[in-house]
Amino acid sequence: MSWVIRLIGTPAGERTEFDGGYVKAYDPTYVLPGGEYDGGILEVCEDPQDALLFKTLKEAVRKYKQPWGFRLDGERNRPLTAWSAEFIQYPEGIRYEETRRVEGQP
């Protein structure tokens, strides 16, 4: 059995093209050819069959929290955690959800 990551949406409710998609490719270390950084590479797909597969839930959560660089507040930058996500055992459909909340919002 494998695990996949499905992006639910941003905690603030801002809609993005990635909402509801399964993570197909993710590399937070990718820097554009001129040296600019825009969050790395993120590709999603509609079918979990096409998504990145992880052997364990721990590996999937590690990928979701993969850091690159530091934020202005000195904490590690974890770009994918800008979305709440659920981790689904594929093909069984067992779910584990990681929800991010924005301070001051329910």
Domain ranges of the chain: 2-98
Q: Which two tokens stand for residue 79?
A: 């770009």
Q: What pLDDT, on a 0 to 100 scale, did the predictor assign at position 27?
A: 94
**Amino acid identity, position 54:** F
**Amino acid identity, position 2:** S
Quick: pLDDT tens for 50-83: 999 999 999 999 999 999 989 899 999 899 999 9
What is the mean pLDDT of the segment spanning 71-97? Answer: 85
| Cis amide leading into 91 (omega within 30) | yes
